[in-house]
Amino acid sequence: DAKTTQPNSMESNEEEPVHLPCNHSTISGTDYIHWYRQLPSQGPEYVIHGLTSNVNNRMASLAIAEDRKSSTLILHRATLRDAAVYYCILVSGGSQGNLIFGKGTKLSVKP
């Protein structure tokens, strides 16, 4: 599976938008971009995923660059509950669900 690069940490203020970047320059045409997050002392939680087009759901938006070599997870209004480690993961068409997690980005939200 292709690798992703994320900043180790980011800070945000409550109720402000947050843009979490992810680089995946070696992405292949069939790789999906998935985002999971992990709150303290909990298991990872699915956030959003996409292939080529931007995606929106109730939790977040995913903006995918035209060349697909990078993507950005957007939290529109950060809350204290959004403080977590966010993982950007590429999932290939041939994978069997064995996700390869990096270290992710630790997001801190200040009140």
Partner 1 sequence: DTGVSQDPRHKITKRGQNVTFRCDPISEHNRLYWYRQTLGQGPEFLTYFQNEAQLEKSRLLSNRFSAERPKGSFSTLEIQRTEQGDSAMYLCASSPGFWAAGNTIYFGEGSWLTVV
- Binding stretches for partner 1 (CB under 8 A): 30-32, 41-46, 49, 51, 85, 87, 91-93, 95-104
Kindly tell me which of 97 and 111 has the beta carbon lying closer to partner 1: 97
- The least CB distance from residue 15 to partner 1, in Å, is 28
- Comparing CB distances to partner 1, the nearer of 47 and 78 is 47
Smallest separation, CB 65 to partner 1 (Å):
19
Q: How far is CA 17 from CA 20, 54, 61, 102, in A?
A: 10, 17, 11, 24
Beta strands per DSSP E along the chain:
9-13, 18-23, 32-38, 45-50, 55-56, 61-64, 70-75, 84-91, 105-110
The residue behind tokens 């909990």 is 42
Tokens of 107: 């997001």
Minimal distance in Å, beta carbon 16 to partner 1? 26
Nearer to partner 1, 78 or 88 (CB): 88
- Smaller CB distance to partner 1: residue 21 or 32? 32
- Min. distance of Cβ 74 from partner 1 in angstroms? 19
Report the half-sphere exposure of 91 (CA within 13 A, side-chain side): 15
